[in-house]
Amino acid sequence: MSLMEDLRVRIGLESDDTSRDAEIEVVKGTSFALMGNYCDRTFPLGIDVVEQFTHKVGLALALKRYPVDTVTSILDQDDKEFTDYHIEPDTGIVHLDFRCAFHQVFVTFTGGYDEDELPADLLMAFYAVFDQEWAIYEGGAVSSSGEISSISVVDVGTIRYDTNAADTSGEGDYLPDRAKSLLMSYMRQKC
């Protein structure tokens, strides 16, 4: 079953009922964006995407979208191509075989996860975020701890509750705790 078919079933539709696909796509995109923001990376597969590095000095470049399938090109601001490099596909780190000092470097590559082939733990984190965001999309409000933070009644108003959440770090407060735990191993590698 594809991720889209699974999400349809998850919200109470039949797997082949496409009537709410546009809404599901919005919430799916939001869920991946929230996960990416928390991990400082991009999860969905991108084909021939270009990542730009400005004022880069050093021996390595850390791509935000990985695992990396292929690198098509690495160019500087003058379109000079670099061929002396090697890649750690699972971390998105491109090791240059020379020390660079450039105004701009452009890496064109294919990387990220096909949404129908997500690792099991990443898929579980996605479901936790998707379920939360779907509840919000449908008109409810859910805090990151899973507690009810407000109740809205049509033609009456909204009652808000102070949840006094223990996590005040500001880091990922928008994600369910389960998702944060599962995403720890997916935090972006930096050089």
For the entire predicted model, the pTM comes to: 0.80
Same domain, 57 and 73: yes
The residues, any chain, with a CB within 8 Å of residue 140's CB and separated by 6 or more, are: 152
Same domain, 121 and 37: yes
30-53: per-residue pLDDT in tens? Answer: 999 999 999 999 999 999 999 999
Return the structure tokens found at 126: 């996605």
d(Cα 181, Cα 172) in Å, to the nearest integer?
A: 11
Whether 191 is in a domain gets the answer: no
pLDDT score at 150: 61
User: CA-CA distances (angstroms) from residue 163 to 67, 105, 135, 148?
Assistant: 38, 46, 18, 8
Same domain, 118 and 37: yes
Which of 89, 111, 133 represents a domain boundary (last residue)?
A: 111
Res 162 pLDDT > 60: no
Whether 167 is in a domain gets the answer: yes
d(Cα 85, Cα 72) in Å, to the nearest integer?
A: 12
Domain that holds residue 163: 3-42+114-186
Same domain, 86 and 166: no
Same domain, 78 and 141: no
Strand partners, 106: 52, 75
Domain count, the chain: 2
Q: What letter does residue 186 receive in the DSSP assignment?
A: G
